[in-house]
Amino acid sequence: MSQNGTTPPGRRAAVVDGLRTPFVKAGTDFRDLSAIDLAALVVNELVARSRLSPAEVDSVVFGQVVPSTTVTLVAREVVLRTQLPRSVQAHTVARACATSIQATSDAADQIRLGQSDCAVVGGAESMSDVPLFASRGLAQALVALSRARSLGDRARALATIRFRDLAPVAPALTEPTTGLSMGESAEKMAQVNRIPRAAQDAFALASHQRASAAWAAGRFDAEVMHVAVPPGYQTVSSRDNIVRADTTLEALAQLKPVFDRRYGTITAGNASPLTDGAAALLVMSEEKARALGFTPLGFVRSYAYAALDPRDQLLQGPAYAAPVALDRARLRLADMDLVDMHEAFAAQVLSNLQAMASRAFAEKELGRSEPMGEVDPQRLNVNGGSIALGHPFAATGARMILQTLRELGRRKKQYALLTVCAAGGMGAAMVLERE
């Protein structure tokens, strides 16, 4: 698709089914599972539950944001570790937190072009199992050691290692262009857009209240599988363990700012937490779905990706991408029955909502005469979002698509808009539709 408002003709991509693991805080229930373990679990269970013959699948598109050093191509590994035929080709995608939106739009494009009929897409993340790297000093010494030809060379290489070089290095959630972490970038957005701490905490509270109400009403039961927890397999993880039914504004207000301890507003309570989990969707051409007797949950109507300079407002991408996705869908915000926005931080969602409603933003940043509009809070993240449910980076987009399509079905409504902010100043948006 070009960056204009048209969607090319082609076959509609139907989301036929989907599933996710519980999303759990890093270092808890899934600490002994890798991202690929979680991916294989969810894909096997999805294929089994959907009663799809694995032989129907012709493509796997999967992603992982913080890659494992032992698995370079997560998508193909999903094929090799599940009941899917080994002849199924696969490709791995990466678009930071929008990774499984990308996996879905890739599959939708392939279906539209007639190059695929049935794809498994999704993402998995284990923040319990992040790769640890050797420091630069240790790595240089080890390379020199491997090239050493004499005992003296070896001794000289080893002698360059300082004690501090032995400390392992973890992957950073830092934006290379600015050197700021995601949290620091969101803190900057809160300041620039004047998003008060109280508004952020109120938004976080709603996320928890809505997610816990959804669990209590059984709305997640069919979309979240149970996982026997290794190493003992004596306990079963059956629910997200980050959602707090008992969170209060008072408790949230007590939490100390994390990223700017002195003047900051972002806390553990109004940020998405580091999370383990996986989510997968079954995406087919409309014809294939009907031929196999599936009733689609819904369809990908349009999507858009956009980007801004990371030195500006790093997580403001959704405000740039969403109007383009709506244009491509030939729909307006007012047509959307639901809006689901990934909650990296409450400050980030509130900043994006402000921009979407702002005429000045529309004119200056988008070159449009009209703003996209005010998002109705009653239609926004109605079953909670990443603050309460957690955010296993690569799995979040697929979780949102599944959760939103099922909610559209329950409400017998037609259209939904999804948005995700992503590293590098990027934003993703997707319009979903039911019949």
Q: Which amino acid is at 91?
A: H
Q: Which residue lies nearer to ligand COA by CB, 200 or 302?
A: 200
| Complete DSSP assignment for 97-128 | BTHHHHHHHHHHHHHHTTS-SEEEEEEEE-TT
Rounded to whole angstroms, how far apart are CA atoms 328 and 326? 5
* List 118, 208, 342, 391, catalytic entry: 391
Closest contact distance (angstroms) between CB of 183 and ligand COA is 5
Determine the interface stretch with ligand COA among 146-154, 268-276, 355-363, 401-409 (rule: CB under 6 A): 268-276
List the one residue from 245, 268, 291, 307 that touches ligand COA (CB under 6 A). Answer: 268
User: Residues in contact with ligand COA, total (CB under 6 A)?
Assistant: 18
Q: Which residue lies nearer to ligand COA by CB, 122 or 269?
A: 269
Determine the interface stretch with ligand COA among 133-141, 248-256, 284-292, 361-369 (rule: CB under 6 A): 248-256
Q: Which residue lies nearer to ligand COA by CB, 135 or 174?
A: 174
- Interaction between residue 319 and ligand COA (CB under 6 A): no
Q: For 156-245, where are the E strands, in sequence order? A: 227-228, 236-237
Assess contact for 242 and 24: CB atoms under 8 A.
Answer: yes
- Interaction between residue 292 and ligand COA (CB under 6 A): no
Q: Which of residues 333-362 bind ligand COA (CB under 6 A)?
A: 344
Q: Which of residues 166-185 bind ligand COA (CB under 6 A)?
A: 173, 182-183
Determine the interface stretch with ligand COA among 217-225, 243-251, 297-305, 375-383 (rule: CB under 6 A): 243-251
Closest contact distance (angstroms) between CB of 242 and ligand COA is 8
Rounded to whole angstroms, how far apart are CA atoms 106 and 362? 29
Q: Which residue lies nearer to ligand COA by CB, 35 or 111?
A: 35
Q: Is 421 a catalytic residue?
A: yes
Class of residue 166 by CB neighbours under 10 A (exposed 0-12, middle 13-18, buried 19+): exposed
Assess contact for 418 and 400: CB atoms under 8 A.
Answer: yes
- Interaction between residue 251 and ligand COA (CB under 6 A): yes
Rounded to whole angstroms, how far apart are CA atoms 99 and 105? 10
Assess contact for 107 and 116: CB atoms under 8 A.
Answer: yes
Q: Is 391 a catalytic residue?
A: yes
Rounded to whole angstroms, how far apart are CA atoms 100 and 418? 12
Q: Phi then psi for 167, rounded to 5 degrees?
A: -70, 130
- Interaction between residue 271 and ligand COA (CB under 6 A): yes
CB atoms within 10 A of CB 143: 11
- Interaction between residue 253 and ligand COA (CB under 6 A): no
Residues that bind ligand COA (CB under 6 A): 97, 173, 182-183, 208, 244, 247, 251-252, 255, 258, 268-269, 271-274, 344
